[in-house]
Structure 1
Amino acid sequence: MAPKVVQQKSQGGKTMMVGNAQKILSTEKMTKKIVKNKESLIKPATGLTANDVQSLYGSDIACMAEHLNALLKDSSLAAYCLPLDQVNVFSRLYEGVLQCAVANLLQPGAVDPAVVNLKPASELEMLQNRNLGLASLRQLGLCVSQSDEMRPSLDRPFRMTPLLVQILRLVSLGRMNFRDNHLLVHLFTDWGSDPQDAKAILATEREKILQLWVNYQLRKEGTTDTVLKDFGAGLADSSVYARLLWVVAPLKIRETLHNTSEVIKHRDFLKRAQLVVSNAEKLGIKGVINPEHIADAGKDELSSTKGLHNNLINAVFLYRIFQAYPNIDEPKVTKSASGVAAPTPEQLRAWCKCGASEETLVRWLNSFGQINPVVSLETDLCNGIILLQVWEAMIPGCVRWSNVKTVNEIKNPSMRLHTWAANCEEVIKCADKAGINRSICSATDIVSGHVKSIAALVFLMMRLHSQIQRQQLLGGRDSVTDLDDSGLVEWFNSKLKGYRSDFQLKSME
């Protein structure tokens, strides 16, 4: 069992999602009837048409489907699913092959294609595919709810829309890290001052990295008065998009584009957006955003479905531009003024790579569905935020959020390490209250990225999490620190006795 997803209000009033994706789907009585024609199962069961989707979501789902088509075009596992459209994407989600393909895109080899039913013809085969794909995606940061409102159903296909949104975010913003895109480190002006600073840079939030990349391109274009701070109202006038597409475009293609002046001379934001979409199509980025998505950016609150979809589609559009035309200049300087060698691409990849023993801990942390998936224990936990989110999910109310500062609240770079240390001290206080010895790991160990100490702490947190679940299963225990293996052995043997079995478990060793 896994803890329920809880929400904690941060100091700034924003809702911080913390909590674990609950057990994906329990095995129920499934129909094993083989359907000869799979399409005859899908369409009548949903009764879904393009008009139905558009009446509820407009063109949002169509754009999301086009994004997935582009991102999965080279996946052999996804060949059965593609092309996706605004109607069949729900059927593909229900069949489960799409989830497996996305998991392998994010982490090659996460799902063995040999065990995937590429043409599932029964409900049982579809359930097996979904369980397989979602189990892998959950370890990569997907948050899956067990509630009836979120349960996949062909009769109510729109229940799967939140799942589609999460998957799209994972394959776009979730990939804005340094594991494969080491050039991103050059977006930071102090990248070569000290290797320790470079490690701290690696913990920057994914959305922030994308915004930094956009602002980097705007500075290259010569713009100093326009700074992108979010994916909302700042994009509505199309000036950011117009300048961005112009500066990243290769010179040969740039001649065919509408230049920035031609775009922003129009007073009508929708007309501007149409020219931006036209430029994007000339750069090979087609069908992934409509002019209305740009012109209406920021009009609706993020708490609304329309506002959330609009924000995501604009963010993914920016990611697609980055993916196609990163346009990052790599400095030729190999040493800083202080004489300290700058981190090499090999070092950056090594800092973002976890060993086999760490992989289990990373997957466990990601199973709580944080906004920023963990890639490395060394670089992704140094600000303390993710560990605090995990503690809150394990023991609701244990974190004093009034004492915690998020990354975006740290305005002064010189105060960064001090603030991170304060956050990490809250992590250690939570561990101390839960019975984990302070000598295992210190706040300094977390900030500095001491892998062995961090791994020891996360391992004990994982063990404690297992004990909490055991407490809920067995009952009758008041103190988490009193839990041991004897209760589980006793419960297991009592269950076997109920089945008149002579076997008795002696210990958990």
Structure 2
Amino acid sequence: MSSSFSAYRNPNTNRQNSGNDDGSKDLKSNIRESRWIQPEQWQSPEVEQKFEKGAIDFSEVLGILQQLGIKVQKFELDKILETHDKNKDRKLSKEEFEALYLKLLAEKDPGTTWNKNVRSMAAGVDRFVTRKSVSDDIDSNSSTVEKQQDASGPYHSVLVEERVWTANWVNQHLADDPYLKLRTNPIDSQDPQGLYKRCQDGILLCKLINIAVPKTIDERAINLNFSKQDIFRQSENLELAINSARGIGCKVVNIHPENISKGVPHLVMGLLWQIIRIQLTSEINLKHVPGLVLLLRDGETPEDLLKLSPEELLLRWFNYQLQRSQYKGKPVTNFSGDIKNSEAYTYLLNVIAPANTKPPLTHNPLNETDLRRRAELMLQESDKIKARAHMTSDDVVKGNPRLNFAFVANLFNTYPALDLPTEKLPEPGIVIEETREEKTYRNFINSLGIEPHVNYLYSDLCDGLIILQLYDIIRPNTVDWAKIYKTFNAIKERFQKLNNCNYAVDYAKEPLNFKVTGIGGSDILEGNKTLTLGLVWQIMRAYTLSILQKLAKSTKPIADKDIINWANEKLKRANKKTVLTNFQDQSLSDSMLICDLIDAIKPGSIQYHLLKTSGTPEAKMDNALYAISMARKIGARIYALPDDIVETKQKMLLTVFACLMASDMTVPKN
């Protein structure tokens, strides 16, 4: 009935550009970030010959791409070509073709996980050949590896500077951890394998997640002090880390414990970067920095700031500070090409540095004409306020967007320089942060790898495209994408988005059988909070139950009563005394029944002496955090928070039990 969404639309088209999108100009130099790299085939003689007479016609592009191994449908290509034809002459120059090729290559997801054969590259890249390793089939056990040799696997690569920076960042932020002891035994950033080896047992990842989002993991659930040969306990830690990363919104599609235990570089680095990015951006909001209202533009409200990605917010902040200085250059629009000459950085540092800094910061780096030496002098200025954040002059001059984003985020977190007069403080009742429910749903969507990344539910779902993608995950081929607008005409934008939202409501009714009484397409388009949340909750519920249905190989949907019956049968067989009556039962608030069920699924996993029986709110919260951590440790993909259990939130408790049921179905049976 339909093709996939990705076959129709570049997911970021017509959305606000992310701050680290530097356009095609810097795509070639930064393409290795994608870590799905083939040799530079576009420079082969066969391709070079095509451009001997200059530009090539649109009609020739498809054949050349297919020759280079890029599979793309003609109808898809027609839409993409328009964005790369800068002269609008229906021809592509060699440079335009390279930009197109690199873009398509970066978006080409191999859809598998990988083993690796790593060798260091002189040009600053760890490059490695891969072969298929782990099936992502929901029916497969997470601890089972099905190996299939694939001699033609693509090259994957990791930028050496990113690996080095990440190792140094981890060393700094976990230096005082009593178990890891990184202050006395740091990760060797010059060892190509050093960082990956330290991640193999899952402990470092769990600790780093708790740095990014405190109290995500109950450290009592982490296996410590076991031998490297104890693969079972290592795998449990990795399950805990991966499922916890999923719970805080990391994209962990196709990442399995085996990938991390074997140190697959691009997957380990991808996960580490997501965790660090969450850490860097966790306080870039109005709650922690009320002065962000100074960045509002005419006609905007504080809630409009929630709609911006962290990259967009940081770029606004960067340019706001530059306007306060003597900077005469162009506005900074990315974390790559616009900052390579260190000029904007030099002015930024001088304007945000505390007035009493000793020795004071200067603009002396601008007197240096060599960009690499200028970058080093600028970084020495940042050292004066202890904000260098492990950056090197090469990171600046090469315009590495990740590392420069991290540098700017660290500057903001340390010296926001947004002093707000009392009269400009947001009025009570003004929305300044997302609710717990909104954050849970956003993390759920982002963890599935849907594009574009969701920053704020109501604005990012208002064109219907993310909702429709979710439908296709729950029930493949639900959406007829030929009827959906993937890009929008400025004049017809509202009509086109409304069309998508109307289809979102129609598909919700049939075939998904959601309860959508009172919900219209216009409610999604206009960001009606109550109705949008109601729809997203049903999507989350349907997704969870669809996994159960697939695991059970059932032809009929799984009902709430089926989950309750399964739980009680499981508890009875394990000789537990607790009984589940419904998902509203207030007795669930102490997490005892949930822990009993986890122990029934994996006997001996719960350390009952750690559970608290006083019944105080603090005791219940501790138990809930332990229960969620242990559930994730045995493979349950739980998005609920401890507060949801303590407050007996019926909806989220349903997902907890459904995820435990799914985990039980994948646990190897003796």
TM-score over 0.5 for the pair:
yes
Show the counterpart of 1:230.
Answer: 334
Q: Does 1:188 align with 2:293?
A: no
Unmatched runs of 5 consecutive residues or more in structure 2: 15-79, 81-102, 114-135, 146-156, 571-581, 584-670
Query: 1:184 deviation in Å?
Result: 2.3
Alpha-carbon distance change, 278 to 395 in structure 1, aligned in 2, over 3 angstroms: farther
Offset from partner CA, 1:225-258 (integer Å, 9 cap, x none) = 4211111111111111111111111123275333
Contact 1:182–1:345 (CA<8 Å) still a contact in 2? no
Show the counterpart of 2:485.
Answer: 403
Q: Report the AA paired with residue 369 of structure 2.
A: R
Show the counterpart of 2:403.
Answer: 313
Show the counterpart of 1:40.
Answer: none
Q: Report the AA paired with residue 278 of structure 1.
A: Q
Alpha-carbon distance change, 449 to 275 in structure 1, aligned in 2, over 3 angstroms: same
Alpha-carbon distance change, 387 to 80 in structure 1, aligned in 2, over 3 angstroms: farther
Contact 2:308–2:455 (CA<8 Å) still a contact in 1? no
Q: Report the AA paired with residue 143 of structure 1.
A: K
CA distance in structure 2 between the aligned counterparts of 1:457 and 1:314, rounded to whole angstroms: 38
Q: Does 1:162 align with 2:270?
A: yes
Q: Helix, strand or coil: the match of 2:341?
A: coil
Rg larger in 1 or in 2?
2
Q: How does 1:490-501 map to 2 (within 5 A)?
A: none
Alpha-carbon distance change, 173 to 120 in structure 1, aligned in 2, over 3 angstroms: farther
CA distance in structure 2 between the aligned counterparts of 1:427 and 1:78, rounded to whole angstroms: 49
Offset from partner CA, 1:323-361 (integer Å, 9 cap, x none) = 111011314435xxxxxxx73377445x42325xx6654
Show the counterpart of 2:354.
Answer: 250
Offset from partner CA, 1:93-136 (integer Å, 9 cap, x none) = 21212222232233322111111124343322221111112211
State the TM-score, normalized to the length of structure 2.
Answer: 0.54
Alpha-carbon distance change, 214 to 20 in structure 1, aligned in 2, over 3 angstroms: farther
State the TM-score, normalized to the length of structure 1.
Answer: 0.69
Contact 1:95–1:129 (CA<8 Å) still a contact in 2? yes
Show the counterpart of 1:364.
Answer: 444
Show the counterpart of 1:52.
Answer: none
Q: How does 1:103-122 map to 2 (within 5 A)?
A: 103-121=209-227, 122=230
Query: 1:280 deviation in Å?
Result: 1.4
Show the counterpart of 2:369.
Answer: 267
Contact 2:253–2:449 (CA<8 Å) still a contact in 1? no
Q: Does 1:288 align with 2:390?
A: yes
User: Which among 202, 214, 225 is matched to residue 96 of structure 1?
Assistant: 202
Alpha-carbon distance change, 107 to 153 in structure 1, aligned in 2, over 3 angstroms: closer
Contact 1:6–1:17 (CA<8 Å) still a contact in 2? no
Q: How does 1:414-425 map to 2 (within 5 A)?
A: 424=501
Q: Report the AA paired with residue 10 of structure 2.
A: K
CA distance in structure 2 between the aligned counterparts of 1:207 and 1:392, rounded to whole angstroms: 29
Q: Report the AA paired with residue 390 of structure 1.
A: L
Contact 2:199–2:205 (CA<8 Å) still a contact in 1? yes
Q: Does 1:64 align with 2:147?
A: no
Alpha-carbon distance change, 417 to 247 in structure 1, aligned in 2, over 3 angstroms: farther
CA distance in structure 1 between the aligned counterparts of 2:206 and 2:215, rounded to whole angstroms: 10
Query: 1:388 deviation in Å?
Result: 5.0
CA distance in structure 2 between the aligned counterparts of 1:418 and 1:84, rounded to whole angstroms: 55
Query: 1:62 deviation in Å?
Result: 1.7
Show the counterpart of 1:343.
Answer: 426
Q: How does 1:455-494 map to 2 (within 5 A)?
A: 455-470=533-548, 472-473=550-551, 483=557, 485=559
Q: Does 1:209 align with 2:210?
A: no
Identity of aligned residues (%): 22
Query: 1:142 deviation in Å?
Result: 1.1
Alpha-carbon distance change, 94 to 81 in structure 1, aligned in 2, over 3 angstroms: farther
Alpha-carbon distance change, 127 to 455 in structure 1, aligned in 2, over 3 angstroms: same
Query: 1:363 deviation in Å?
Result: 4.4
CA distance in structure 1 between the aligned counterparts of 2:482 and 2:392, rounded to whole angstroms: 43
Query: 1:146 deviation in Å?
Result: 3.2
Relative contact order, higher structure (CA 8 A, sep 6+): 1
CA distance in structure 1 between the aligned counterparts of 2:483 and 2:292, rounded to whole angstroms: 31
Show the counterpart of 1:390.
Answer: 470
Q: Name which of structure 1's ranges 390-399 and 122-131 shifts more when overlaid on structure 2.
A: 390-399
Q: Report the AA paired with residue 317 of structure 1.
A: F
Q: Report the AA paired with residue 202 of structure 2.
A: G
Alpha-carbon distance change, 360 to 236 in structure 1, aligned in 2, over 3 angstroms: closer
